[in-house]
Structure 1
Amino acid sequence: MHLTVWNVPESCSEQDVREFFERELGHYAKGVTVYDAGTSNAHADLELDSDVPYVADAVARELQGRRLAGVALRVSAAPFDEEESPRG
């Protein structure tokens, strides 16, 4: 399960972002990948350690609007991972 987080502040380093999400997600944080850290396009991919589809939606709702360095985050969950696609 993956979440995408936009609106990551330019002032945050890759390590800052990683530590923030590992702290916020606890045992659900399987992996955090940060793209374009230090730029206005900074965003992150969060891999969740769960096979239950609704967990990603619940975590996305919980993180939505949380603040990182004073900036409200925007979070979304992919509706299905490829292997979980109802067409597959």
Structure 2
Amino acid sequence: MNLIVWNFAQTCSEQDIRAFLQYELGHYLKNVTVYEHGTPNAYAHVELNADVPYVGDVIAQQVHGKLLGGVALQASAMPFDEKPAPPQRQ
């Protein structure tokens, strides 16, 4: 299962994002890749240690709205074979 998390504050470093996701997701986190950190379009692609689709949805709901750097995050779960980028900020 994959998760996309976006809407990171521009002040967040890649290490800040990784540490936050590791803390929030704990043993569910398999791998995280951060893209475009320090920009308005920063997002993270997270591989989850979960094979059941609803687990990814529940995790996305838990992360969605959490604050990092004073900004509410957005998150969405997706199947293994999909890796779309999140919507671009205007």
Query: What's the TM-score, normalizing by structure 1?
Result: 0.88
CA distance in 1, matches of 2:18, 2:36: 13
CA distance in 1, matches of 2:52, 2:17: 25
**Runs of 4 or more above 3 Å deviation:** none
CA distance in 1, matches of 2:8, 2:33: 12
Q: Which has the larger radius of gyration?
A: 1
The number of residue pairs the alignment matches comes to: 81
C-alpha offsets along residues 15-47 of structure 1, whole Å, 9 cap, x if unaligned?
110000000000001011100011111111111
Query: What's the TM-score, normalizing by structure 2?
Result: 0.86
> Which 5+ residue runs of structure 1 have no aligned equivalent?
83-88
Matches within 5 A, 1:26-37: 26-37=26-37
CA distance in 2, matches of 1:4, 1:53: 14
CA distance in 1, matches of 2:27, 2:71: 24
Following TM superposition, by how much is the alpha carbon of 1:62 offset from its aligned partner in structure 2, in angstroms? Answer: 0.6
The aligned residue for residue 85 of structure 1 is none
More helix by share: 1
The aligned residue for residue 66 of structure 1 is 66
Matches within 5 A, 1:5-84: 5-78=5-78, 80-82=79-81
